[in-house]
Structure 1
Amino acid sequence: MFMRRFFGQCLLFALTLASHGRYKRSSACYGPLGCFSTDGFFSLRRPINVLPASRESVNTQFRLYTRKNPQEDHVVRVDYPVTYDLSNFEPKNPTKFIIHGFTDNGFKPWIIQMKDEFLKYGDLNVFVVDWGSGSRPPYVQATANTRLVGAEIAYMIKFLQKKGLKTKDVHLIGHSLGSHTAGYAGRATKNLGRITGLDPAGPYFEYTSPRVQLDPTDATFVDNIHTDARNILRFGLGMMQASGHVDYYPNSGSHQPGCDKDPFTFVKISGIEEVYNWIISGLTRFVACDHMRSVYYFTESINSKCRFRSFECENYENYKKGRCSMQPSAQMGLHADQYIPYRRKRVKLFLETSDEDPFCEFLYEIEIDIGRHALDSSKQRGELYLQIVGDGAKTDLIKLTRGHRDLKPDTKMSFVMRTKTFITKVLSVEFKWMEDKSWYKPWTWGILGGKKKNIYINKIKVVNNDAEEFFLCRFGSTQVKANKIESFSTSSFCT
Structure 2
Amino acid sequence: MLKLYLFISLMCLVRSDTDEPCPSFTRLSFHSAVVGTGLNVKLMLYTRKNLTCAQAVSPTDLGSLNVTKKTTFIVHGFRPTGSPPVWIGDLVEGLLFVEDMNVVVVDWNRGATTVIYSHAAGKSKNVAVVLKEFIDQMLANGASLDNIYMIGVSLGAHIAGFVGEMYDGQLGRITGLDPAGPLFNGRPPQDRLDPSDAQFVDVIHSDTDALGYREPLGNIDFYPNGGADQPGCPQTIFGGLQYFKCDHQRSMYLYLSSLRENCTITAYPCDSYRDYRNGKCVSCLTPQKESCPLLGYYADHWKDYLKEKDPPMTKAFFDTAEEKPFCMYHYFVDILTWNKNIRRGDITIKLRDKAGNITESKINHEPATFQKYHQVSLLARFNQDLDKVAAISLMFSTGSIVGPKYKLRILRMKLRSLAHPERPQLCRYDLVLMENVETVFQPILCPKLQM
Same fold (TM over 0.5): yes
For 1:8-407, list aligned pairs within 5 A.
58-80=39-61, 83-84=62-63, 87=64, 89-103=65-79, 107-137=84-114, 138-190=116-168, 191-230=170-209, 236-260=210-234, 263=237, 266=240, 287-320=244-277, 322=278, 324-327=280-283, 329-340=292-303, 341=306, 342-358=309-325, 360-368=326-334, 370=336, 381=343, 383-390=346-353, 394-400=357-363, 402-406=366-370
Please point out which of 408, 424, 430 is paired with 1:479. Answer: 430
Change (3 A) 1:347 1:116: same
Residue-by-residue CA offset, 1:235-258 (whole Å, 9 max, x unaligned): x22221221122222233233233
State whether residues 369 and 412 of structure 1, in contact with CA within 8 Å, keep that contact through their aligned partners in structure 2. yes
5+ long unaligned stretches in structure 1 = 1-55, 231-235, 267-282, 447-452
Give the Å deviation of 1:465.
Answer: 2.8
Change (3 A) 1:462 1:390: farther
CA–CA separation in structure 2 for the residues paired with 1:323 and 1:472: 19
- Matched to 1:288, the amino acid is K
State whether residues 106 and 128 of structure 1, in contact with CA within 8 Å, keep that contact through their aligned partners in structure 2. no
CA–CA separation in structure 1 for the residues paired with 2:441 and 2:156: 53
- Matched to 2:73, the amino acid is F
Give the Å deviation of 1:433.
Answer: 5.0
CA–CA separation in structure 1 for the residues paired with 2:226 and 2:266: 15
State whether residues 326 and 415 of structure 1, in contact with CA within 8 Å, keep that contact through their aligned partners in structure 2. no
With 174-183 and 162-171 compared, the bigger mean Cα shift is at 162-171
Q: Secondary structure at the match of 1:325?
A: coil
* Match in the other structure for 1:463: 417
Change (3 A) 1:473 1:256: closer
* Match in the other structure for 1:278: none
| Aligned residues: CA RMSD | 3.3
| Number of equivalenced pairs | 394
Change (3 A) 1:140 1:479: closer
CA–CA separation in structure 1 for the residues paired with 2:107 and 2:141: 22
Give the Å deviation of 1:73.
Answer: 0.7
- Asked which structure has the greater CA Rg, the reply is 1
- Matched to 2:394, the amino acid is K
CA–CA separation in structure 2 for the residues paired with 1:295 and 1:481: 45
CA–CA separation in structure 2 for the residues paired with 1:404 and 1:74: 58
* Match in the other structure for 2:9: none
CA–CA separation in structure 2 for the residues paired with 1:397 and 1:259: 20
Change (3 A) 1:490 1:94: farther
State whether residues 255 and 290 of structure 1, in contact with CA within 8 Å, keep that contact through their aligned partners in structure 2. yes
Residue-by-residue CA offset, 1:140-187 (whole Å, 9 max, x unaligned): 332232112212222222322344433222221111110110001111
CA–CA separation in structure 1 for the residues paired with 2:268 and 2:350: 23
State whether residues 359 and 383 of structure 2, in contact with CA within 8 Å, keep that contact through their aligned partners in structure 1. no
CA–CA separation in structure 1 for the residues paired with 2:147 and 2:359: 42
Change (3 A) 1:393 1:112: farther
State whether residues 279 and 378 of structure 2, in contact with CA within 8 Å, keep that contact through their aligned partners in structure 1. no
- Matched to 2:89, the amino acid is I
Among all aligned residue pairs of Structure 1 and Structure 2, give the percentage whose two residues are the same amino acid: 28
CA–CA separation in structure 1 for the residues paired with 2:295 and 2:246: 19
- Matched to 1:471, the amino acid is Q
State whether residues 463 and 469 of structure 1, in contact with CA within 8 Å, keep that contact through their aligned partners in structure 2. yes
CA–CA separation in structure 2 for the residues paired with 1:362 and 1:317: 17
Residue-by-residue CA offset, 1:315-361 (whole Å, 9 max, x unaligned): 445555x2742446433322222223333355322222233333x23
TM-score (norm 2): 0.76
5+ long unaligned stretches in structure 2 = 1-36, 285-291
Give the Å deviation of 1:214.
Answer: 0.7
CA–CA separation in structure 2 for the residues paired with 1:119 and 1:389: 38
* Match in the other structure for 1:36: none
Residue-by-residue CA offset, 1:260-298 (whole Å, 9 max, x unaligned): 2655785xxxxxxxxxxxxxxxx8x76222222221121
Residue-by-residue CA offset, 1:34-74 (whole Å, 9 max, x unaligned): xxxxxxxxxxxxxxxxxxxxxx9533222111111111111
Change (3 A) 1:366 1:286: closer
State whether residues 430 and 487 of structure 1, in contact with CA within 8 Å, keep that contact through their aligned partners in structure 2. yes
Give the Å deviation of 1:383.
Answer: 4.7
Q: Secondary structure at the match of 1:134?
A: helix
- Matched to 1:152, the amino acid is V
Q: Secondary structure at the match of 1:72?
A: coil
With 149-158 and 361-370 compared, the bigger mean Cα shift is at 361-370
State whether residues 181 and 212 of structure 2, in contact with CA within 8 Å, keep that contact through their aligned partners in structure 1. yes
CA–CA separation in structure 2 for the residues paired with 1:157 and 1:352: 37
State whether residues 154 and 186 of structure 1, in contact with CA within 8 Å, keep that contact through their aligned partners in structure 2. no
CA–CA separation in structure 2 for the residues paired with 1:308 and 1:490: 28
- Matched to 2:433, the amino acid is A
Q: Secondary structure at the match of 1:416?
A: strand
